Structure 1
Amino acid sequence: MSEDERNAKVYVGEILVFRGFAPVARFIEALRSRSYDYLGDNPTLIHDRRTEDEIARASAAFRRAVRSDSAIAAYFNAALAAVGVRLDDTYGDGVVVRVQTAGLSRNATLGPLAAHRDTWGTNIAAQTNWWAPLFPATPERTLALFPAYFDYAVANSSADWDFEELLRRLKAGRTAEKYPLLPTASDAPPRAEALPISLVPGDLMCFSSAHLHASVPNTTDRTRLSVESRTVNGTDVAAKRGAPDVDGSARYTTYQLFRHLDGVVTKF
């Protein structure tokens, strides 16, 4: 699928899954291999072997290692290129792995994310989300979207959320102070209206960052591991193309989060 065709579908709310692409499978396998280094031989059962604090520390180390790994970044670029992304016109915010433990976690980094649109925080209409599981995702252990709310306003905290304040706290190392990492829905739709995504390793889902989505509370006996990233097409930003903004009130547009995928230009 070409860049233009894919983006046109994404901007009107279509949810795409790419399956059967060898470079995507290699990207996921590289991440799985790294997960063993930090989470043990069977990462989906780490909750049976370690305390929640130990899992949080191991997961944070895993995330940091992935973010700084140039080989992982190259695998990701190859996966995107295989499904039609034009690397020379695309910016990304890096590869992010998430670990959601089995059961209800008290730790914010290991528990489910509340319903939100990523565009509430970035204010970029041409932003696209990419998501994939490292191990099979089931309806009880996955990401869920609310497709009916794609162009339907939802009350949220974007007007009160301050990206610059979040950066100040992070740079100052004030991690103990509670400040939301992103705006969330203040009146979230009922879970019955959610579309849980069931994918297998090697699948890669693509959807607009304007889609309302959330983590499904993990009620299974397996820890969930997934990878996500966000990209922005430069030509579409310049042409002001993108998904509709029906309820966002972000104070800033956070282009500084994105870097050019092919390394020719560092950022917007």
Structure 2
Amino acid sequence: MDFFLDSTSSDAERCRRLYAGDVYMFTAVPAAQALCEFARTMLEDAFAPHDPRTAQHEMPVEEFASALAELKPAFIHHPTAKEMIRKLLADRGCDLGKTYFDVPRLRSSTSDGYLTSGIAYAFHPHRDTWYSAPSCQINWWLPVYPVPAGAGMEIYPRYWDRAVANTSSSYNYARWTRESRFNASQHLKNDTRQQPRAKEPLQLDGGVMLNGEPGALTVFSAAQLHASAKNVSGQCRFSIDFRTVHLDDLIAGNGAPNIDSKCSGTTLGDYLCADDLAHIPGDLIQSYDIAET
């Protein structure tokens, strides 16, 4: 596995290497900086008069969760956010007519266990492919504010080609969307929603911490094992992530090797064409929609 910094490789070459486990990092990407600035404006309006990064020290957890419950869907579905994703993908050399993206998520990782479930879920080690993602899914991650030391996200390279016993066989994306996706804000103390997770002890030493300044960008395969780092910085870490798939790779069945994912269903119905916001053709989605057993 290799890490590339500010690579100028083509999108096709980048995809090929991502499917092989490599990771791409970019610094000071103008389109990413603009997206982060837009997110900061929404965050600061939502938490005014508090600084969003330290608001947890001044707000009851119920009030904090309520602010996130309003803010996050507003950001996800804001047309400006979608337009900024289009510009970011164009900036990175993607073919907008063949690149499909899902809506950008605004993530929050509070400090010292203040709120780690529901609307601010602290993700345990997982692969996105355990969650019905296609093997050609590519993840894009960027910090909204400078990431406090040790409070970013971690990737665990030792598990790229090492299977992990997990519970993904019980996960179906359509069922999750129907039963669990929209009640996140109700989970303040404990998150009882069933999510895929490892069934064996994991060796998490040697993980690669993702951090950086606003405008930094990390790109990696959905098959990478990754998790939210435990945040004890005293500040809430805010980040944005979104996912892409390339139409040609979907048709050809290209992507990272599937070594341990056994979930059913597919997330492809959520994706929009970066050129005209059209959905992926229905017959192609159906070909990936593994039946629930």
TM-score normalised according to structure 2 size: 0.85
Query: Residues 41-190 of structure 1: matches in 2 within 5 Å?
Result: 41-108=50-117, 109-170=119-180, 178-180=192-194, 182-190=195-203
- Alignment partner, residue 31 of structure 1: 39
How far does residue 55 in structure 1 lie from its aligned partner after superposition? 1.1
How far does residue 46 in structure 1 lie from its aligned partner after superposition? 0.9
Question: In structure 1, how many angstroms separate the alpha carbons of the residues matched to 2:123 and 2:278?
Answer: 32
- Alignment partner, residue 270 of structure 2: 257
How far does residue 34 in structure 1 lie from its aligned partner after superposition? 1.2
Q: Does residue 208 of structure 2 align to residue 195 of structure 1? A: yes
Counterparts in 2 of 1:139 and 1:209: CA distance versus 1, 3 Å: farther
- Alignment partner, residue 233 of structure 2: 220
Letter in 1 for 2:255: G
* Deviation per residue, 1:56-115 (Å, 9 max, x gap): 111121111111210111112111210112211111111100111111135413242111
The farther-off stretch of 166-175 and 27-36 is 166-175
* Deviation per residue, 1:156-195 (Å, 9 max, x gap): 1101122232223148969679323x42222252332322
Counterparts in 2 of 1:240 and 1:94: CA distance versus 1, 3 Å: same
Counterparts in 2 of 1:196 and 1:7: CA distance versus 1, 3 Å: same
* Deviation per residue, 1:100-158 (Å, 9 max, x gap): 11111354132421110001112411100010111112442110000111111011110
Percentage of identical aligned residues: 27
Q: SS of the residue aligned with 2:74? A: helix
Query: Residues 12-31 of structure 1: matches in 2 within 5 Å?
Result: 12-31=20-39
- Alignment partner, residue 220 of structure 2: 207
Letter in 2 for 1:48: H
Question: In structure 1, how many angstroms separate the alpha carbons of the residues matched to 2:158 and 2:256?
Answer: 14
Q: SS of the residue aligned with 1:191? A: coil
Question: In structure 1, how many angstroms separate the alpha carbons of the residues matched to 2:158 and 2:77?
Answer: 37
Question: In structure 1, how many angstroms separate the alpha carbons of the residues matched to 2:29 and 2:142?
Answer: 13
Question: In structure 1, how many angstroms separate the alpha carbons of the residues matched to 2:264 and 2:85?
Answer: 31
- Alignment partner, residue 231 of structure 1: 244
Question: In structure 2, how many angstroms separate the alpha carbons of the residues matched to 1:39 and 1:217?
Answer: 23
Counterparts in 2 of 1:38 and 1:173: CA distance versus 1, 3 Å: closer
Question: In structure 2, how many angstroms separate the alpha carbons of the residues matched to 1:173 and 1:188?
Answer: 30
Root mean square deviation, CA, Å: 2.0
Q: Is the 8 A contact 1:105 1:111 kept in 2?
A: no
- Alignment partner, residue 11 of structure 1: 19
Question: In structure 1, how many angstroms separate the alpha carbons of the residues matched to 2:67 and 2:112?
Answer: 18
Counterparts in 2 of 1:257 and 1:47: CA distance versus 1, 3 Å: same
Q: SS of the residue aligned with 1:228? A: strand
**Structure 1 portions without partners, runs of 5+:** none
The alignment of Structure 1 onto Structure 2 pairs a total of residues equal to 267
How far does residue 54 in structure 1 lie from its aligned partner after superposition? 1.1
Q: Is the 8 A contact 2:148 2:235 kept in 1?
A: no
Q: Is the 8 A contact 1:136 1:199 kept in 2?
A: yes
Counterparts in 2 of 1:244 and 1:110: CA distance versus 1, 3 Å: same
Q: Is the 8 A contact 1:101 1:111 kept in 2?
A: no
